[in-house]
Amino acid sequence: MLKKNNSIKLLKYYKFINYNLIYNNKAINRFKKDNFEISEDKAKSLETLKNSIINQKNCDLKNQAKNIVFSDGNPKSKIMLIGEAPGANEDQEGLPFVGRAGQLLDKMLLAIGLDRKKVYISNIVNYRPPENRRPNPKEVERYLPFITKHIEIINPKILVLLGSTAMNAIIGNDVVISKMRGQWIEKKFGNCKTSVLVTFHPAFLMRQPAQKKMAWIDLKMIRDKKNKLKI
């Protein structure tokens, strides 16, 4: 028998490690990290989407990768960022933007008062293309329904496309980033109506630091829109 003092200590410990002693028959919400408590419907939709990506047949990208890179950040966020494809670090960790480009992305977000707890991040394709090459048009076409569904589920008010692969996949192939960046366009994905902004990919900014001043203009546009929409 546990003494009363010990059981109080044990309960305090369970509370501390967030361990729920009471069993119930609610679905396990795997997206419930930090305070990212989302509706069961949203958690279920994300889980279903992730499983449909994992369960694809005959996908070379998937077969050559170590891990699926589904998303990071807060699924409740009204700001969603989409990159190109996971690299070696992301493949290893199963999370987007954890390598050098990710470190720059974190700094860019921080400059406008954001971080990974305040945004949601994914990529056009969810598996690392070998040798860090760009995903080819066939691969983009294959993954486009998944990322479109992903946007619909997250339902962001602001959608930021990082780089030309994300821009061409989501907006179309007849646009170039030098002309598209720095302007808001409105787009619908199912029931999700969102303001879309294209900006440079952080990996491009590492190669072309002179373009950071343009990226700063875009970041300030995101900050202003976020304030205007009271996000």
Chain residues in the site for ligand URA (CB under 6 A): 83-87, 90, 96-97, 99, 101-102, 123, 203
**Which amino acid makes up residue 198?**
V
**DSSP class of 219:** H
18: left (phi over 0), alpha (psi -120 to 50) or beta: left
**CB of residue 124 to ligand URA, shortest distance in Å:** 8
**CB of residue 201 to ligand URA, shortest distance in Å:** 6
**CB of residue 186 to ligand URA, shortest distance in Å:** 24
Nearer to ligand URA, 44 or 212 (CB): 212
Nearer to ligand URA, 63 or 103 (CB): 103
Distance between CA atoms of residues 162 and 184, nearest Å: 14
Would you state the structure tokens that stand for residue 140, as one six-digit string? 């983009």
Around Cβ 85, how many Cβ atoms within 10 Å? 26
Nearer to ligand URA, 84 or 218 (CB): 84
Nearer to ligand URA, 29 or 67 (CB): 67
Backbone angles phi, psi at 73, to 5 degrees: 100, -160
**CB of residue 153 to ligand URA, shortest distance in Å:** 19
Rg of the chain (C-alpha set): 20
Distance between CA atoms of residues 74 and 71, nearest Å: 9
User: How many CA atoms, within 13 angstroms, populate the side-chain half-sphere of residue 23?
Assistant: 0
**CB of residue 27 to ligand URA, shortest distance in Å:** 28
Nearer to ligand URA, 59 or 125 (CB): 125
Nearer to ligand URA, 102 or 156 (CB): 102
Instruction: Tell the burial category of 39 from Cβ atoms under 10 Å away from its Cβ (0-12, 13-18, 19+).
Output: exposed
- CB-nearest residue to ligand URA: 83
Beta bridge partners of 81: 121, 160
**CB of residue 187 to ligand URA, shortest distance in Å:** 20
Beta bridge partners of 80: 120, 159
Nearer to ligand URA, 37 or 141 (CB): 141
Around Cβ 215, how many Cβ atoms within 10 Å? 23
**CB of residue 200 to ligand URA, shortest distance in Å:** 12
